[in-house]
Amino acid sequence: MAAKSGFTRPRQRSEDSTAPPIPSAVLYVANCGPAVGVTDSDVLAAFSAFGEVAGVHAADDSGARVLVRFHEPAAAEIAMAALNGRPCDRLAGRVLHIRYSVPVKPKARTGCSLPVAVAASELGVPGIYMVEEFVTAAEEQELLAAVDTRPWKSLAKRRVQHYGYEFLYETRNVDSKQFLGELPAFVSTVLQKIISFPGVKKCNTKLVDQLTVNEYPCGVGLSPHIDTHSAFEEMIFSLSLAGPCIMEFRKYPKGSWRAPGVVNGADEDSSEESEYIRKAIFLPPRSMLLMSGEGRYAWHHYIPHHKIDDVRGQVIKRNSRRVSFTFRKVRKGPCQCEYKQFCDSHSKTS
């Protein structure tokens, strides 16, 4: 969406920067969008009070950030002064966080496609494990049928369901005090099987207690992100159903953790660092992926927004949908990982 609109999230300004932000006619508005109950027409009504609005677009696939494009930069400036960090009457007192948006930079062409691993042992990312045919075709159909009879929540480009704890896209965290209940019975076979998954560390309590089901239509992927350390424990399992995809892992050598909603979940065009290590793995339907250790804590994972994937010269079409079941365990205290520069718990205590 950001790429379609031609604008994206501005760079994070360093704290000691004294340069004022450069005004533009396009505002990047956080805490606003369908995931937080605000429709495009609500946004239009709220911002039209300051000048003629040329369009409202999703800023990324979070459903909680939009781009508001004015015809005149002066109108954007007035809206910014009136609404940034203040309750907006026309949006039931919602506090918006607004910055001037910037044009999307053309992507650097590498000239070569990324080799795609078909086994975790070939991937070269520590802590990543993958098992093919983790569930049978019959179990896959049962899991899909179970979620298809339950209500979906629509985000900008995909649909989700949450069990155990609600995942909050605005903060990329959970409210650990709001327990929704045990994980549903339809995943009990999966839960039994993951105990003996390669790479699983022994655990005296439940291995997982939160489930996010994602349904991606063909051509839709997921923005690069590291799951917030303070939200979830070390092991994250993701079961692919209904269709295949490629998952890319990115390590930013100078990478650091930034506030949720700024880098975590940012759209793919807004990476601030151009240099990073890229690795990719093919995830067939019915495969289970475990992200743990360095691969979970220090590498971003990302699903490219493709309709077709090139796996070692073989063209693999994405299906009409891919449904993933991501199992995580909600963290109850601060994260004690050794990857401090990626850790929000560390940044809060230091």
Q: Which amino acid is at 126?
A: P
Q: Lay out the site mask for ligand AKG across 287-306 (x = CB under 6 A, - = otherwise).
A: --------------x-----
Q: Lay out the site mask for ligand AKG across 224-263 (x = CB under 6 A, - = otherwise).
A: ---x----------x-------------------------
25/281 with CB nearer ligand AKG: 281
247/343 with CB nearer ligand AKG: 247
- What would the two tokens of residue 117 be? 């691993």
212 near ligand AKG (CB under 6 A): yes
What phi and psi, each to the nearest 5 degrees, are found at residue 330?
Answer: -70, 130
326 near ligand AKG (CB under 6 A): yes
Residues 318, 309: contact at Cβ < 8 Å?
yes
Task: Work out which of 214, 264, 271, 287 binds ligand AKG, going by CB under 6 A.
Answer: 214
210 near ligand AKG (CB under 6 A): no
162/340 with CB nearer ligand AKG: 162
Q: CB 217 → ligand AKG: shortest distance, Å?
A: 13
224/255 with CB nearer ligand AKG: 224
- Over its C-alpha atoms, the chain yields an Rg (Å, rounded) of 21
Using CB under 6 A as the binding rule, the residues of this chain from 34 to 73 that contact ligand AKG are: none
Residues 104, 2: contact at Cβ < 8 Å?
yes
- What would the two tokens of residue 152 be? 């979906």
**Residues contacting ligand AKG: total by CB under 6 A:** 8
46/155 with CB nearer ligand AKG: 155
| Whole-angstrom distance, CA of residue 121 vs CA of residue 287 | 15
β 116-117/277-283 pair status: parallel
Task: Work out which of 26, 324, 330, 344 binds ligand AKG, going by CB under 6 A.
Answer: 324
| Whole-angstrom distance, CA of residue 24 vs CA of residue 15 | 21
270 near ligand AKG (CB under 6 A): no
| Whole-angstrom distance, CA of residue 173 vs CA of residue 257 | 14
DSSP result, 10-51: PPPPPTT--SPPPP-SEEEEES-SGGGT--HHHHHHHHGGGS
264 near ligand AKG (CB under 6 A): no
101/214 with CB nearer ligand AKG: 214
- What would the two tokens of residue 62 be? 């979070």
| DSSP helix/strand/coil, 52 | coil
Q: CB 247 → ligand AKG: shortest distance, Å?
A: 7
> Nearest Cα to 134, choosing from 184, 199, 190, 187?
190
Residues 290, 128: contact at Cβ < 8 Å?
yes
91/155 with CB nearer ligand AKG: 155
Which residues sit at the interface with ligand AKG, rule CB under 6 A? 212, 214, 222, 227, 238, 301, 324, 326
